[in-house]
Amino acid sequence: MSTRNMVGDNINAGFGDVLGLKYSEVTSDRVAAELSINPTLHQPDGIVHGGVYSAVVEALGSVGGSHWYGERGRVVGVNNNTDFLRATREGTLYGVALPLHRGRAQQLWAVTITDSEGKLIARGNVRLANLPAVDTRNTTPE
């Protein structure tokens, strides 16, 4: 059974598309992306909703973790801790994810989100569980 991980044709399927993430680098050691802020990403007070930052942390860390884990299986987020440091209303934000730990069962990725002036807007960590692929080629039905 082949395992399709999230890196590839569907890298931005679903919520990543809603956010408007545009990836500029995807490797096992670094993921970089940008997103343009628009009013659909605001909370009622007109600033970017904190959930946007959490989603960016989750997305970039998961893409990097999935790229690293590759055909061994897939990864899923099990913890996301994101700090919102500076409010923003418009412009382009840049996210960079770097691995802190990559083990047999789990990974930990750190993500920073900055504005066009390089000011830190948010930062977070996402912990991923590595889920090994199940090989069904040599099994017989019951």
Which residues participate in catalysis according to the annotation? 58
Nearest to 52 by CA among 24, 88, 6, 10: 88
Query: Using an 8 Å Cβ cutoff, are 43 and 11 in contact?
Result: no
DSSP 29: S
Q: Which DSSP letter does residue 72 get?
A: G
Please give the distance of CA 83 from its chain centroid, rounded to a whole number. 15
